[in-house]
């Protein structure tokens, strides 16, 4: 299993540009997440999904959009890039069946995004 894969690894955007960060998992996990990590800070949840077709906002959703058309893919869309979105973005997935299975999250290697 490749686990959680993310593309691209690095990207530089100009203010106002848009882009999509890709995330794919091959573990048949039902839950998927997007986090951002700013320097010296912990991770903050942007959006999450509990299954195909179902998404919900996390702590810091403004400026982002997501979709979940398949179990495997969970892309994150930035429509109008701003310098405040300069960060490292992590995608994660887990299998969750509350009360039965430990909800360990598996993380991708991250995408380092700079907005100039």
Partner 1 sequence: KQEVTQIPAALSVPEGENLVLNCSFTDSAIYNLQWFRQDPGKGLTSLLLIQSSQREQTSGRLNASLDKSSGRSTLYIAASQPGDSATYLCAAEGSGATNKLIFGTGTLLAVQP
Of the candidate residues 19, 27, 43, 60, the single one contacting partner 1 (CB under 8 A): 43
Q: Rule CB under 8 A: is residue 76 a binding residue for partner 1?
A: no
Site for partner 1 in 87-116 (CB under 8 A): 90, 92, 94, 96, 98, 102-110
CA distance 69 to 78: 18
86 vs 81: CA distance, rounded Å = 9
ω into 9 cis (within 30 of 0): no
42 binds partner 1 (CB under 8 A): yes
Q: How far is the CB of 71 from partner 1 (least distance, A)?
A: 16
The one among 45, 60, 65, 75 contacting partner 1 by CB under 8 A? 45
Q: Which is nearer to partner 1, 62 or 102 (CB)?
A: 102
Q: What is the DSSP string of 4-42?
A: EEEE-SEEEE-TT--EEEEEEE-S--SEEEEEEE-TTS-
């Amino acid at each position: 299993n490749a686990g959680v894969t993310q593309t691209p690894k690095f990207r530089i955007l100009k203010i106002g540009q848009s882009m999509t960060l890709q995330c794919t998992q091959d573990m048949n996990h039902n839950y998927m997440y997007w986090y951002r990590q700013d320097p010296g800070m912990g991770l903050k949840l942007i959006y999450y999904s509990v299954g195909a077709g179902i998404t919900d906002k996390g702590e810091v959703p403004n400026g982002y959009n997501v979709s979940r058309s398949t179990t495997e893919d969970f892309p994150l869309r930035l429509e109008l890039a701003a310098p405040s979105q300069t960060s490292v973005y992590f995608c994660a997935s887990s299998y969750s069946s509350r009360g039965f299975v430990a909800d360990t999250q598996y993380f991708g290697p991250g995408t380092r995004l700079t907005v100039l």
